[in-house]
Structure 1
């Protein structure tokens, strides 16, 4: 970013301020990613800054407007952050054109625009309505969304094809730190995977095992339930669309059976209280919100004997009172281990802050899937987009 003169320029900054949302109140649970995004914004002095980010996924409770994010970012920065309830339509374009040097504008949730929910090749992304409508309004693009680096969305791979593009400070810092941590990592490698993004976790398991980065795979959260169903421990169908992932989980388990460790017990809610039951005693009506004590002890023992621990996604619904135990205990085990530790995802970053052990972890990232793909040696569209843009910039073609 230091290679560009930004004063007096219109700059699009792709950030990732996708933040955990309280399912009951709809308010932001923490501000970690918003605080991280503020660093690059502070260094774009004298420019007209247009910020773009997604929030949640279609159909989920966290698929909400970014209006409250704008207010939170304004408080973090100590300066006004304008908000427009539009992505690339007339309202958005008018708001961008009306900016003065030093102004900051946050666009509406990028995924409210259909195109940002799909992945494209760079050549296809350039043709999207989003990129075509906004490109004439910008002089520079800054990519500072490492948590979304593994996705080929239009704002990630499209703008860098038609605008001078550079990495933001957060992306540069993340890559520098990760390269250092990876260089010192050692076997045995243990991956602790949880959270609610089952498709991402299946992709992660495949990549980590294929690249020798997972000697032990400890499963929690929804992905743990999918595998318990796949091996026949859970007899009843899973809720929502989870059942469709069972065949793939079964294939992975049978191919790499010796690497997987599944929950032995879980915590369910009964009459508003936490009750622990063995996995083979779970009733179809039970609402599972965490792993149980036996599983915590088994997983903690494996974690503490590992050379490298990678944990991504909370083991349970830690935002529910009484169901934070699995998340807290496994994070504490990771923090107190002698191995190289990497904690991934905004939810776990928030939990580490709450526990006061963030400084005990070798690398903490708000990225989830992108970090997994990086550790597994996979291509990241955002990094490739930056490389192509840099090559054109150096050749004087932009």
Structure 2
């Protein structure tokens, strides 16, 4: 594992002196500051920081030793789950928060937990609140309507609940996505920043003045541009990563930075950017691909040899509004990747046959065809190449590491699950041979649960999007926010 050199928080700032239950009346962030903040969040102003740089600059919750008992603390929680009949069923994200919440309780903080469930604003966190209370062994006050969208203000009910709370109490707020302001950055463009800044300044300052001035992010899977994750920290005096999130970033994800083998697949060709970023680190020597990503690479490989390969409807402009469409510029990008990668000694292992929309297995596609899984010859090839990788790994003077992301087809349909199902055994094969094997959560994690066992891999992440951001081409949005808030660099 990599060692993260930590940077201590700057406690010389006068704001850090006000960490009791009382809150300062001064404005925490101005509109101009918010505009600068949003330029970083939306990627207009870029700062070259790697994953380990972010982790070194952001405190962890254990570092907040001078936050007094009775202090309200905002906790951005990983609440997006569907609890089953009992603790341990469907609540892994809630259980991942326990260590952080117990630290806060032991220090007497009044923890105000907020976050989302799903993408539907009408979904409620009432069952999540009940399950979290069972995990923590206590009652949690649930506030169903805590924000006034007309005035962009915190409702008096929440303010009064915080005043009435005792040290060690928990308050959980209803689904943040219930309110439009939580989702306002999802489709925002740089040109929208001046108009959005005034509203978001008001919201951030409302949280700082009426809820808390200390913020802990313990929502590893919350990779979207939610206001609760990427705006509210701007007004905070202190911020920190929760213990689970810190552990995931500094441990397994840091290890994945050194992966020599990556298995990458999925519906969208934009994963090509993430794969390129992984290759650019200079460690990867084996690339296994499937799905749309593979189709783009296959066409590129043929074109590099002066040939062509039909990838069916995925290259048909009539389908350009579909997520699986592969535009010509992506094929050109794939050609550069393969050409440069081969010069570095990278092996690209791509499908040689496909299960098509009508269940046929074919090695070529017609203009109206679409692949929904890899075929049996591809599974044979993948198993052969995994064997070659294992032999190659014996020559290394460092640990062998493999990162698996995505599934090979539309695996939720039994007609198209065979390729994904069969490959799960290769994860076990690699781990049994001493390779550290990581699964990037999301659909790949679901496939492991369906067709394998947890101990077949070294670690299965709980959040696919966050993992791809961390290893890929764009930084994790909430890490950008926390780093700016921690270093006051906006």
Q: TM-score range by the shorter chain?
A: 0.7 to 0.9
For residue 177 of structure 1, report the CA deviation from its aligned partner. 1.3
1:171-320 to 2 correspondences below 5 Å = 171-178=245-252, 181-182=255-256, 185=258, 189-196=260-267, 198-199=269-270, 201-225=271-295, 232-236=309-313, 237=316, 238=319, 240-242=321-323, 245-257=326-338, 258=342, 260-268=348-356, 275-278=359-362, 280-281=364-365, 284=368, 289-306=372-389, 307-320=400-413
Relative to structure 1, is the Cα distance of residues 192 and 115 closer, same or farther in structure 2, using a 3 angstrom cutoff? same
For residue 169 of structure 1, report the CA deviation from its aligned partner. 1.0
Relative to structure 1, is the Cα distance of residues 221 and 176 closer, same or farther in structure 2, using a 3 angstrom cutoff? same
2 CA distance for matches of 1:197 and 1:20?
A: 26
Structure 2 counterpart SS, 1:242: coil
Relative to structure 1, is the Cα distance of residues 213 and 139 closer, same or farther in structure 2, using a 3 angstrom cutoff? same
Structure 2 counterpart SS, 1:263: coil
2 CA distance for matches of 1:233 and 1:55?
A: 41
For residue 174 of structure 1, report the CA deviation from its aligned partner. 1.1
Structure 2 counterpart SS, 1:156: helix
Residue 160 of structure 1 corresponds to 233
**377-386 or 304-313: which moved more?**
377-386
Structure 1 counterpart SS, 2:312: coil
For residue 202 of structure 1, report the CA deviation from its aligned partner. 2.6
For residue 255 of structure 1, report the CA deviation from its aligned partner. 0.8
Which deviations, in whole Å up to 9, do the C-alpha atoms of 1:110-167 show, x marking residues without a partner?
A: 3853324157999987961543443322232101233446x66543343333211111
Structure 1 counterpart SS, 2:244: helix
Structure 1 counterpart SS, 2:354: strand
Relative to structure 1, is the Cα distance of residues 53 and 295 closer, same or farther in structure 2, using a 3 angstrom cutoff? farther
1 CA distance for matches of 2:117 and 2:217?
A: 17
Residue 442 of structure 2 corresponds to 346
For residue 333 of structure 1, report the CA deviation from its aligned partner. 0.6
TM-score in terms of structure 1 length: 0.74
Which deviations, in whole Å up to 9, do the C-alpha atoms of 1:294-347 show, x marking residues without a partner?
A: 222322333444343211122233344454433333232123213332211233
1:135 aligns with 2:197: no
For residue 48 of structure 1, report the CA deviation from its aligned partner. 3.9
Whether contact under 8 Å (1:190, 1:309) holds in the other structure is yes
Relative to structure 1, is the Cα distance of residues 325 and 118 closer, same or farther in structure 2, using a 3 angstrom cutoff? same
Task: Count residues with an aligned counterpart.
Answer: 372
1 CA distance for matches of 2:204 and 2:476?
A: 20
2 CA distance for matches of 1:325 and 1:85?
A: 46
2 CA distance for matches of 1:95 and 1:276?
A: 60
**95-104 or 166-175: which moved more?**
95-104
For residue 373 of structure 1, report the CA deviation from its aligned partner. 4.4
For residue 250 of structure 1, report the CA deviation from its aligned partner. 0.4
Structure 1, unmatched stretches of 5+, are 22-28, 393-398
Residue 3 of structure 2 corresponds to none
Structure 2 counterpart SS, 1:217: strand
Structure 2, unmatched stretches of 5+, are 1-60, 84-88, 301-307, 390-399
Q: CA RMSD in A?
A: 4.1
Structure 2 counterpart SS, 1:315: coil
Structure 1 counterpart SS, 2:104: coil
2 CA distance for matches of 1:300 and 1:175?
A: 30
2 CA distance for matches of 1:323 and 1:6?
A: 56
Structure 2 counterpart SS, 1:117: coil
Give the greater-gyration-radius structure (CA): 2
1:41 aligns with 2:108: no
Which deviations, in whole Å up to 9, do the C-alpha atoms of 1:212-259 show, x marking residues without a partner?
A: 244333222343455567764223234742365423420222112355
Whether contact under 8 Å (1:227, 1:249) holds in the other structure is no
